[in-house]
Homo-oligomer: A and B are copies of this chain.
Protein backbone atom coordinates (compact mmCIF):
# COMPACT_ATOMS: atom_id res chain seq x y z
CA UNK A 1 0.00 0.00 0.00
CA UNK A 2 1.07 3.57 -0.65
CA UNK A 3 -1.33 5.71 1.30
CA UNK A 4 -3.85 5.48 4.13
CA UNK A 5 -7.28 6.24 2.71
CA UNK A 6 -10.83 5.96 4.03
CA UNK A 7 -11.29 2.80 1.96
CA UNK A 8 -8.00 1.12 2.99
CA UNK A 9 -8.63 -2.40 4.26
CA UNK A 10 -7.39 -2.34 7.86
CA UNK A 11 -7.14 -5.44 10.04
CA UNK A 12 -6.74 -5.19 13.80
CA UNK A 13 -5.37 -8.34 15.42
CA UNK A 14 -6.20 -8.41 19.13
CA UNK A 15 -9.29 -6.48 20.19
CA UNK A 16 -8.47 -5.45 23.76
CA UNK A 17 -8.57 -2.02 25.29
CA UNK A 18 -6.07 -0.58 22.78
CA UNK A 19 -7.08 -2.57 19.69
CA UNK A 20 -10.68 -1.70 20.51
CA UNK A 21 -9.79 1.98 20.82
CA UNK A 22 -8.16 1.84 17.38
CA UNK A 23 -11.27 0.20 15.91
CA UNK A 24 -13.55 2.85 17.37
CA UNK A 25 -11.33 5.79 16.38
CA UNK A 26 -11.00 4.55 12.80
CA UNK A 27 -14.55 3.36 12.13
CA UNK A 28 -16.19 6.32 13.86
CA UNK A 29 -13.69 8.52 11.98
CA UNK A 30 -15.00 7.35 8.62
CA UNK A 31 -12.72 4.41 7.75
CA UNK A 32 -15.01 1.96 6.00
CA UNK A 33 -13.14 -1.32 6.18
CA UNK A 34 -11.91 -1.85 9.72
CA UNK A 35 -11.92 -5.56 10.52
CA UNK A 36 -10.59 -7.67 13.35
CA UNK A 37 -9.30 -11.05 14.37
CA UNK A 38 -9.41 -11.66 18.09
CA UNK A 39 -9.43 -14.65 20.43
CA UNK A 40 -12.82 -14.36 22.08
CA UNK A 41 -16.00 -14.62 19.98
CA UNK A 42 -17.76 -12.44 22.59
CA UNK A 43 -15.37 -9.58 21.83
CA UNK A 44 -16.24 -9.78 18.13
CA UNK A 45 -19.94 -9.67 19.05
CA UNK A 46 -19.32 -6.65 21.26
CA UNK A 47 -17.47 -4.84 18.48
CA UNK A 48 -20.21 -5.57 15.93
CA UNK A 49 -22.93 -4.51 18.37
CA UNK A 50 -21.14 -1.22 18.98
CA UNK A 51 -20.56 -0.52 15.29
CA UNK A 52 -16.79 -0.57 15.82
CA UNK A 53 -15.86 -2.83 12.92
CA UNK A 54 -17.07 -3.83 9.50
CA UNK A 55 -16.36 -7.49 10.15
CA UNK A 56 -14.64 -9.65 12.74
CA UNK A 57 -13.82 -13.25 13.56
CA UNK A 58 -12.05 -15.31 16.19
CA UNK A 59 -10.60 -17.59 13.51
CA UNK A 60 -7.60 -17.34 11.22
CA UNK A 61 -9.56 -16.20 8.18
CA UNK A 62 -7.15 -16.58 5.24
CA UNK A 63 -9.14 -14.44 2.82
CA UNK A 64 -9.50 -11.65 5.40
CA UNK A 65 -5.77 -11.61 6.09
CA UNK A 66 -4.88 -11.75 2.39
CA UNK A 67 -7.01 -8.76 1.47
CA UNK A 68 -5.78 -6.57 4.35
CA UNK A 69 -3.52 -3.70 3.28
CA UNK A 70 -2.64 -2.45 6.77
CA UNK A 71 -2.53 -4.78 9.79
CA UNK A 72 -2.26 -3.51 13.37
CA UNK A 73 -1.08 -6.01 15.97
CA UNK A 74 -2.34 -5.22 19.47
CA UNK A 75 -1.11 -8.36 21.21
CA UNK A 76 1.21 -9.33 24.05
CA UNK A 77 4.80 -9.27 22.71
CA UNK A 78 5.38 -13.04 22.80
CA UNK A 79 2.02 -13.76 21.14
CA UNK A 80 2.77 -11.16 18.45
CA UNK A 81 6.01 -12.99 17.56
CA UNK A 82 4.31 -16.40 17.52
CA UNK A 83 1.53 -15.04 15.29
CA UNK A 84 4.00 -13.69 12.72
CA UNK A 85 5.96 -16.94 12.65
CA UNK A 86 2.87 -19.01 12.19
CA UNK A 87 0.75 -16.98 9.80
CA UNK A 88 2.97 -14.55 7.86
CA UNK A 89 2.61 -16.72 4.75
CA UNK A 90 -1.01 -15.49 4.57
CA UNK A 91 -0.09 -11.81 4.04
CA UNK A 92 -0.33 -10.39 0.53
CA UNK A 93 2.79 -8.79 -0.96
CA UNK A 94 2.97 -5.07 -0.12
CA UNK A 95 1.09 -5.35 3.17
CA UNK A 96 2.22 -2.92 5.87
CA UNK A 97 2.09 -4.15 9.43
CA UNK A 98 2.40 -2.12 12.61
CA UNK A 99 1.95 -2.68 16.34
CA UNK A 100 1.26 -0.98 19.68
CA UNK A 101 3.87 -2.80 21.78
CA UNK A 102 5.20 -0.96 24.82
CA UNK A 103 8.85 -2.01 24.43
CA UNK A 104 10.83 -2.20 21.23
CA UNK A 105 14.36 -3.59 21.75
CA UNK A 106 13.32 -7.19 22.18
CA UNK A 107 10.77 -7.26 19.43
CA UNK A 108 11.19 -4.90 16.47
CA UNK A 109 14.43 -6.20 14.94
CA UNK A 110 13.46 -9.79 15.63
CA UNK A 111 10.19 -9.40 13.75
CA UNK A 112 11.78 -7.44 10.93
CA UNK A 113 14.36 -10.20 10.54
CA UNK A 114 11.91 -13.08 10.46
CA UNK A 115 9.46 -11.23 8.19
CA UNK A 116 9.05 -11.92 4.48
CA UNK A 117 10.88 -9.44 2.26
CA UNK A 118 7.70 -8.27 0.50
CA UNK A 119 5.92 -7.18 3.70
CA UNK A 120 7.05 -4.26 5.87
CA UNK A 121 6.83 -3.91 9.64
CA UNK A 122 6.87 -0.34 10.96
CA UNK A 123 6.66 -0.19 14.73
CA UNK A 124 4.73 2.40 16.76
CA UNK A 125 3.69 3.09 20.32
CA UNK A 126 0.49 4.94 21.20
CA UNK A 127 1.20 6.67 24.55
CA UNK A 128 -2.31 6.30 25.89
CA UNK A 129 -4.07 3.57 27.75
CA UNK A 130 -6.50 2.68 30.44
CA UNK A 131 -5.90 0.97 33.73
CA UNK A 132 -8.51 -1.61 32.81
CA UNK A 133 -8.15 -4.23 30.12
CA UNK A 134 -10.72 -5.57 27.68
CA UNK A 135 -12.57 -4.22 24.65
CA UNK A 136 -15.48 -3.02 26.79
CA UNK A 137 -13.17 -0.40 28.32
CA UNK A 138 -11.85 0.78 24.97
CA UNK A 139 -12.31 4.45 24.24
CA UNK A 140 -11.07 6.42 21.27
CA UNK A 141 -11.08 9.62 23.34
CA UNK A 142 -7.93 8.60 25.24
CA UNK A 143 -5.90 9.29 22.07
CA UNK A 144 -6.99 12.96 21.88
CA UNK A 145 -4.21 15.20 23.15
CA UNK A 146 -1.90 12.19 23.54
CA UNK A 147 1.49 11.32 22.03
CA UNK A 148 2.10 8.76 19.27
CA UNK A 149 5.61 7.52 18.65
CA UNK A 150 6.82 5.93 15.44
CA UNK A 151 9.93 3.76 15.93
CA UNK A 152 11.55 3.08 12.55
CA UNK A 153 14.76 1.15 11.91
CA UNK A 154 17.19 1.31 8.98
CA UNK A 155 15.02 -1.37 7.32
CA UNK A 156 11.98 0.89 7.02
CA UNK A 157 10.98 2.84 3.94
CA UNK A 158 9.82 6.44 3.88
CA UNK A 159 6.50 5.17 2.52
CA UNK A 160 5.77 2.89 5.50
CA UNK A 161 6.88 5.55 7.99
CA UNK A 162 4.44 7.99 6.39
CA UNK A 163 1.61 5.46 6.48
CA UNK A 164 2.31 4.85 10.16
CA UNK A 165 2.29 8.58 10.91
CA UNK A 166 -0.95 8.94 8.93
CA UNK A 167 -2.43 6.20 11.12
CA UNK A 168 -1.46 8.12 14.28
CA UNK A 169 -3.08 11.18 12.80
CA UNK A 170 -6.24 9.28 11.84
CA UNK A 171 -6.48 7.94 15.39
CA UNK A 172 -6.58 11.50 16.70
CA UNK A 173 -3.20 11.76 18.43
CA UNK A 174 -2.07 15.33 19.10
CA UNK A 175 1.65 14.85 18.66
CA UNK A 176 3.41 12.37 16.41
CA UNK A 177 7.14 11.87 16.96
CA UNK A 178 9.90 9.55 15.80
CA UNK A 179 12.43 7.80 18.03
CA UNK A 180 15.01 5.09 17.54
CA UNK A 181 14.42 1.76 19.31
CA UNK A 182 17.01 2.57 21.95
CA UNK A 183 15.70 6.10 22.56
CA UNK A 184 12.18 4.74 22.83
CA UNK A 185 13.01 2.07 25.37
CA UNK A 186 15.06 4.41 27.53
CA UNK A 187 12.27 6.96 27.46
CA UNK A 188 9.56 4.41 28.22
CA UNK A 189 11.57 2.96 31.11
CA UNK A 190 11.46 6.34 32.81
CA UNK A 191 8.11 7.84 31.80
CA UNK A 192 5.96 4.76 31.92
CA UNK A 193 7.58 1.68 33.47
CA UNK A 194 9.18 3.44 36.44
CA UNK A 195 5.91 5.22 37.23
CA UNK A 196 4.09 1.87 37.28
CA UNK A 197 6.74 0.41 39.61
CA UNK A 198 6.30 3.38 41.94
CA UNK A 199 2.51 3.15 41.92
CA UNK A 200 2.56 -0.59 42.68
CA UNK A 201 5.12 -0.10 45.46
CA UNK A 202 3.18 2.78 47.01
CA UNK A 203 0.02 0.69 46.96
CA UNK A 204 1.68 -2.25 48.74
CA UNK A 205 4.08 -0.37 51.08
CA UNK A 206 1.53 0.28 53.83
CA UNK A 207 -1.22 -2.16 54.70
CA UNK A 208 -2.75 -0.20 57.58
CA UNK A 209 -6.54 -0.53 57.61
CA UNK A 210 -8.96 2.32 56.88
CA UNK A 211 -6.47 4.52 55.01
CA UNK A 212 -9.06 4.94 52.27
CA UNK A 213 -11.26 6.87 54.74
CA UNK A 214 -8.70 9.61 55.04
CA UNK A 215 -7.11 9.80 51.62
CA UNK A 216 -6.92 12.90 49.46
CA UNK A 217 -6.52 13.04 45.70
CA UNK A 218 -2.70 13.03 45.79
CA UNK A 219 -2.57 9.41 46.82
CA UNK A 220 -5.34 8.53 44.38
CA UNK A 221 -3.46 10.18 41.51
CA UNK A 222 -0.18 8.47 42.31
CA UNK A 223 -1.83 5.06 42.49
CA UNK A 224 -4.37 5.19 39.64
CA UNK A 225 -2.04 3.04 37.54
CA UNK A 226 -1.51 0.59 40.41
CA UNK A 227 -4.57 -1.12 38.92
CA UNK A 228 -2.40 -2.95 36.49
CA UNK A 229 -2.56 -5.84 34.03
CA UNK A 230 0.01 -7.99 35.83
CA UNK A 231 0.56 -10.39 32.95
CA UNK A 232 1.29 -7.72 30.38
CA UNK A 233 3.36 -5.36 32.53
CA UNK A 234 5.57 -8.05 34.06
CA UNK A 235 6.36 -9.19 30.51
CA UNK A 236 7.12 -5.61 29.39
CA UNK A 237 9.31 -4.97 32.46
CA UNK A 238 11.43 -8.05 31.87
CA UNK A 239 11.77 -7.27 28.14
CA UNK A 240 13.18 -3.85 29.06
CA UNK A 241 14.97 -4.89 32.23
CA UNK A 242 18.32 -3.12 31.83
CA UNK A 243 16.84 0.27 30.98
CA UNK A 244 14.23 -0.01 33.73
CA UNK A 245 16.75 -1.02 36.41
CA UNK A 246 18.83 2.01 35.46
CA UNK A 247 15.85 4.36 35.90
CA UNK A 248 14.80 2.68 39.17
CA UNK A 249 18.31 3.16 40.54
CA UNK A 250 18.46 6.82 39.44
CA UNK A 251 15.10 7.44 41.11
CA UNK A 252 16.13 5.64 44.32
CA UNK A 253 19.34 7.68 44.49
CA UNK A 254 17.48 10.97 44.14
CA UNK A 255 14.86 9.84 46.66
CA UNK A 256 17.61 9.05 49.19
CA UNK A 257 19.15 12.48 48.64
CA UNK A 258 15.82 14.11 49.40
CA UNK A 259 15.45 11.89 52.47
CA UNK A 260 18.84 13.07 53.74
CA UNK A 261 17.84 16.71 53.28
CA UNK A 262 14.74 16.08 55.38
CA UNK A 263 16.72 14.19 58.04
CA UNK A 264 19.04 17.21 58.26
CA UNK A 265 16.05 19.63 58.34
CA UNK A 266 17.63 21.22 55.25
CA UNK A 267 14.67 23.38 54.37
CA UNK A 268 16.48 25.34 51.65
CA UNK A 269 17.71 22.15 49.96
CA UNK A 270 14.20 20.69 49.84
CA UNK A 271 12.73 23.98 48.65
CA UNK A 272 15.25 24.14 45.81
CA UNK A 273 14.21 20.64 44.65
CA UNK A 274 10.54 21.60 44.93
CA UNK A 275 11.07 24.75 42.87
CA UNK A 276 12.91 22.76 40.20
CA UNK A 277 10.10 20.20 40.17
CA UNK A 278 7.41 22.88 39.93
CA UNK A 279 9.15 24.59 37.03
CA UNK A 280 9.91 21.40 35.13
CA UNK A 281 6.40 20.00 35.60
CA UNK A 282 4.96 22.92 33.61
CA UNK A 283 6.55 21.48 30.48
CA UNK A 284 4.42 18.37 30.88
CA UNK A 285 1.03 20.06 31.04
CA UNK A 286 -1.37 18.55 28.55
CA UNK A 287 -2.43 21.16 26.00
CA UNK A 288 -5.67 22.73 27.32
CA UNK A 289 -6.19 20.00 29.88
CA UNK A 290 -4.23 20.39 33.11
Contact = CB atoms under 8 A, between A and B. Distances in A.
A63 interface: no
Scoring A175, A196, A216, A245 by chain B CB atoms within 10 A of each residue's CB, the highest score goes to A216
A189 B231 CA distance: 32
Contacts of A106: none
Contact of A228 (B224, B231, B244, B278): B278
A205 B254 contact: yes
B198 A202 contact: yes
Scoring A197, A198, A201, A267 by chain B CB atoms within 10 A of each residue's CB, the highest score goes to A201
Interface string A276-289: 11101111101000
A220 B286 contact: yes
A86 interface: no
Nearest to A191: B219
Interface size class of A (residues with CB under 8 A): 35 or more
Interface in A255-271: 255-256, 258-259, 262-263, 265, 267, 270-271
Nearest to A194: B202
Interface stretch (A8-16, A29-37, A235-243): A235-243
Interface string A126-162: 0111000000000000000011010000000000000
Given A262-B248, A263-B241, A192 B204 contact: no
Interface stretch (A43-51, A65-73, A87-95, A207-215): A207-215
B191 A234 contact: no
A177 B263 contact: no
Given A198-B255, A262-B241, A274-B234, A221 B219 contact: no
Interface string A173-202: 001010100000001001110111111111
A265 B281 contact: no
A225 interface: yes
Given A200-B258, A200-B277, A271 B217 contact: no
A252 interface: yes
A277 B204 contact: yes
Given A211-B187, A271-B231, A248 B255 contact: yes
B241 A248 contact: no
A205 B206 CA distance: 24
A137 to B, nearest CB: 13
Given A146-B216, A187-B208, A244-B262, 5 more contacts: A190-B211, A203-B281, A233-B274, A241-B265, A255-B255
8 contacts: A127-B216, A192-B218, A218-B225, A220-B290, A227-B281, A234-B267, A241-B263, A245-B262
